[in-house]
A and B are shown apart, each in its own frame.
Chain A
Amino acid sequence: MEFFSLTLYRKKSCCKIGLYILLLGYAIATLFPFLWAMSSSFKTLSEIVSGNSGLIPQHFTWDNYKKIIWEEPLFLRWLFNSIFVASWVTGLNLICNSLAGYALARVSFVGNKFLFWIVLAILMIPGQITLIPSYLILKNLGWLNTYQGLIIPNGVNATFIFMMRQFFINFPTELEEAASLDGLGVWETFWKIVLPLAKPALAAQTIFIFMGSWNNFLMPLVVVSQPDLFTLPLGLNTFRGEYISYWNYIMAASIVFTLPVLSIYAVFNRYFIEGVKFTGSK
């Protein structure tokens, strides 16, 4: 009996090692392109051309970063544009979506239900259909090639209005009742009581909206044609055209582009996984 269970145990742990190898293999396949890009950004062009596929640069150099940051006149500008646009988009979304979600969840006014159904309907409108008309509307407003053209259309997100509403509906009403007894109005209650308690929902929203704006390619491609207003994805795309075989520069630029999101991810990765559950799977 003892012998039997031992072989069973061995068989099981053997199986487990196999699973580990599979999983580890896939994890390496996922991670390797990133590490390789990172290491290439510290290699000299001659080393890259010579076909060294190793992860450790033979001649470690910062020159690629120096080149793109200090000698590429527009690179810092693109970085600034991306940060500026993504920050505004995130801020606007946090405020507008939360206010709207709160109103739909908690304030009884005529048309509340109807507006909620409209938000649900908007959720179903695919982005492709609004692209061309939005372009024409922006053109009419004179907002092509402006920051507001990049910011305002993305400043509200029906998905997150819906989610904030769901969040506030499950909120205990006692706190708000107490606030109202203390003589606080709806606005004060919202800012001082409700919003601070909504931090987890706001954190998930911040991450997804910021990332969405940071990585967005199609919308800026349509709205902006002046290189000094490019966000990083567009900048990077033209950058590649300009330095078509200078992969050392292209990789350095890609890493600079990725680092901010990566650091947010490193700090908040809990919220990312939570957010995935939050946004849809069930």
Chain B
Amino acid sequence: MEKNQLFLDKKLSQSLTGYSLILPASIVLLTFAILPLFYAIFLSFHKVKILGDVEYKFIGWKNFIRVLSDERVLIALKNTVEYVIIVVPTQTLLALGLALILNANLKGKNWFRIIFFLPNITSSTVLTLIFMWIYNADGLLNNLLKFLHLPTYNWLGDPNVALKSIMLMNIWSTAPFFAIIYLAALQDIPKYLYEAASIDGVEHWEQFLYITLPALKPVTFFALVMGVIGTFQLFDQAYIFSGGSGGPNNSTLTIVMLIYQYAFKSLDIGYASALALILALVIAIATLLQRLFIQEEKFN
């Protein structure tokens, strides 16, 4: 009996310690992660007035139905999808190429890794400012193109080119990062696989096709999903580029920027929440797919 009591006491004090250790994190996560999740769902079914006292009026699915007939959503979606479709495959292929070169037993590999990581630690604000300057009418890029006798562009002001300017910058800054991840994976492929293949007389490109590529499948999947998640959330660059407008002529309007504009410029909180919820759902599905896939790889 007494022993039992002692055991319970110990368990209780252990539990109390556990809760007190986890309390600070719980408070923050509860207030700024879990509560917002449910609050967002609530908001998306309401018309919200936030000037003066906050007021909610339940309007059912109206916010979601409104999305279907919103021309700006269509433009933002088109821009974002175009952006994802061009940027993600390009940067992944480029990264793979760079990693393969880096893996070819070259000297100074570490120096290249250090340089390649630079854009990744630099803030998007600074990168965007530097590139805005490179893109200037008589900036570095146009000077280079003139020198090579190639056509020059109005990189910032032409609606047909503005989004491509951001794409170029994004590919430039992200590809080296994925190259570093690819390189790590390449170096994990056991050497004996290649040695065995060489002895069997398997050609170089066949080794690449049948050994390297399959071994890189999980990393490729990681790069693609992270690429899609990252590009879907394009905001900083487009915001700074266009001064928050999404211009010229809506050509750099992205989904997150549209959400920002609706929520914080037109104070259309309910509608913006519905849009955010749809975007979040798409991203959550992508994340989930990635986790499932990588878990499966691990079990195999």
Give residues in A with beta carbon < 8 Å to B.
16, 19-20, 22-23, 26-27, 29-31, 33-34, 36-37, 40, 51, 53, 95-97, 99-100, 102-104, 107-110, 112, 115, 118-119, 122, 124-137, 139-140, 152-153, 155-156, 158, 161, 186-187, 190, 211, 214-215, 217-218, 221-222, 232-233, 236-237, 240-241, 247, 250-251, 254, 257-258, 261-262, 265, 269, 272-273, 276-277, 280-282
Which residues of chain B are near A40, meaning CB under 8 Å?
A: 133
Distance in Å: Cβ of B94 to nearest Cβ of chain A: 9
Task: Mark the stretch among B10-18, B62-70, B71-79, B194-202 that contacts chain A.
Answer: B10-18
Expressed in whole angstroms, the Cα–Cα distance for A202 and B143 within the complex equals: 46
Expressed in whole angstroms, the Cα–Cα distance for A80 and B249 within the complex equals: 37
B17–A217 CB distance below 8 A: no
Task: Mark the stretch among B24-32, B84-92, B159-167, B205-213 that contacts chain A.
Answer: B24-32
Per-position 1/0 for B88-116, Cβ under 8 A of A: 00000000001001101010000111111
Which residues of chain A are near B222, meaning CB under 8 Å?
A: 280-281
Give residues in B with beta carbon < 8 Å to A.
14-19, 21-22, 24-26, 28-29, 31-37, 39-40, 43, 50, 54, 98, 101-102, 104, 106, 111-119, 121-126, 129-134, 136, 138, 140, 143, 172, 176-177, 180-181, 184-185, 218-219, 222, 226, 229, 233, 235-236, 239-240, 243, 256, 259-260, 263-264, 269, 272-273, 276-277, 279-280, 283-284, 287-288, 291, 294
B121–A124 CB distance below 8 A: no
Main secondary structure of the interface of A (DSSP, over half): helix
Given that A122-B33, A136-B39 are contacting pairs, would A128 and B126 also be in contact in the complex, using a CB cutoff of 8 Å? no
Given that A136-B39, A136-B54, A262-B121 are contacting pairs, would A130 and B181 also be in contact in the complex, using a CB cutoff of 8 Å? no
Expressed in whole angstroms, the Cα–Cα distance for A49 and B272 within the complex equals: 42
A124–B288 CB distance below 8 A: yes
Number of inter-chain CB pairs below 8 Å: 257
| A109 partner, pick from B14, B269, B273, beta carbons under 8 A | B14
